[in-house]
Structure 1
Amino acid sequence: MTDNVKCNLPPHPLSGSITGEYWQNDDGSVRVPAILKHPDRYSIVKRDILNYKWNPEDFLLLSYPKTGTHFTWEVMNMLLKGTAEYSKQPKEALMMDLFALSESSKYFPSPRTINTHYRPDVLPEEFRKAKTVIVLRNPKDACVSWHYHEVNISANIDPARRGSLSSLSLSDSIHRFLYDKDVPYGSYFDLTEYMWSLRDQPNILLIFYEDLKLSPVDTIQKLNEFMGTDLPPEMIQQIADATEFNKMRNAKLNFAPSEDALKLMKAQQRDPQLAKKITDKMYRKGKIGDWRNHITVADNEIFDRFLAEWSGGKDIPFKY
């Protein structure tokens, strides 16, 4: 699944070839490595995904890692609550990839936004019929953000992964991002191309991270209409103001999780202090075009050649 000529790197520490765990579509033509940050919990998480019955009051948020999931989830949560107040329930508590849905449901009732990085065709039919918000972000910023997530966060969650990730150069990360498909959730490009193909389905709203940044009121209003929350213009403006990146980041740095969130973390054997450290590093910059400050001229040429050959992305209106 990896182009070994162009990506001469050891396997990702959570690659499917190492864990042996994949999610696949109905005919087996699409296989993506499962996320196994906590292998002892994975069997429970997998069981709950396979057995889950979708609540029509809920929404599904789908995105590739580091493409605006936290940002969009916070906006959607505010729309559902009808307030511009920040949530005290962390997004991760409703992330079906990591937290068992049967346990999350005890503490976070509907209506709510369940989030995942898995593509919908590898999930059970229950999830494919959900009202779903898809978020896309330009691949260069996504790649840089993914690199720093791996180095600053993933490498510190599990000491066994620290050596292979903490020393990873951005150049290596770029080559892995472009050519390695045997990474958690699979290839950014495969998933993005597939999600773009769903944009006209009636249960799907596809938005761009960059539009949330550049035209927040208009984009939040699209979410407001799609979700049927019917909030007035003044509340949409308040939500746009509250979710300005630096304002939201500063609020989250002083984040105090709800009692229900603490109970859920305890039930799933999670360390709240570790969760706090992760939150502190999760909101990095959130800028559009920050890739220019990181990707070298030589690596950018490699990136551009790849994009020129990526036929599935030619019609996607990315903003760089």
Structure 2
Amino acid sequence: MPPPSSGGIALIELLNILENIDLKSLGHNSTKYVHYLTEAMRRVYADRSKYLGDPDFYPVPIDSLISKNYAKKLYSQITSSASNSADILPGLVESSESMETTHYSIIDKWGNAVSVTTTINSGYGSKVVVDGAGFFLNNEMDDFSAKPGVPNQFGLLGSEANSIEPGKRMLSSMTPTIVLKDDKPVLIVGSPGGSTIITAVLQVVLNVLDFEMDVNEAVDAPRIHHQWYPEHISIEDGVLDSSGTLELINMGHKVKDIPYLGLIEAIKIDQKTGRVSGATDRRGFGLAKGELDK
């Protein structure tokens, strides 16, 4: 998804950085695997804060951000120890978005694929219902930086790229994704979850493509998240045991347990057999459903 969503650029930038690493050899959700994902996420979310906004109002350097040479430069900064986010870039601090977002993934018998993410932003949106229509208006204005450089009521800072202007579109993290091979879909995926959407989608893509998991295993696997600030890795139960967590801490990382990250809805297509498999996240209340062609 292009700007003003940050999802597409951030996902490509993350994948470009991580392709410099043999992730499979590290082992899925090993300490080193979590470390490299975290350091890539830290740098991409720093770029998100500084450079991304509505391209009709701000010169978003898309080509530079998704350049493989730029990704190699970022990769070269990653060491065996945790970086300090304050040493990377100043800028936006992410707020935590609630789950008033919906995603659905669809494919039909002809192979037409759809990945859609939609939101009213936070609980009941603006809390205004359209008379006679029965639906809420969103409060997406909250996704702007109301006053760049000055903390809002939650102590969060914003950048000029996402400042409020008439007719401008606010920044989001929506990342509806379709992965193609030979111009045909092999994976349709997306999620709600605010700033955690990008990293949830990333890990499902890696699970399917790099670790060759089936779609249910890929979606259900425990996940991590780092967004530059706050200065900690959010980790679901099951990613690491206590010794692995201690190893991360000894590398300089701060670790915070979190109940869940994202609510993925995904479809995997096996191009050899034509088999279509759907998965809904164990973390939520979605549904995977298919119909046989009669």
TM > 0.5 between the two? no
Hey, which of these two has a bigger chunk of helix by percent? Answer: 1
Higher-RCO chain (CA-CA 8 Å, sequence separation at least 6): 1
* TM-score (structure 1 length as normaliser): 0.29
More strand by share: 2
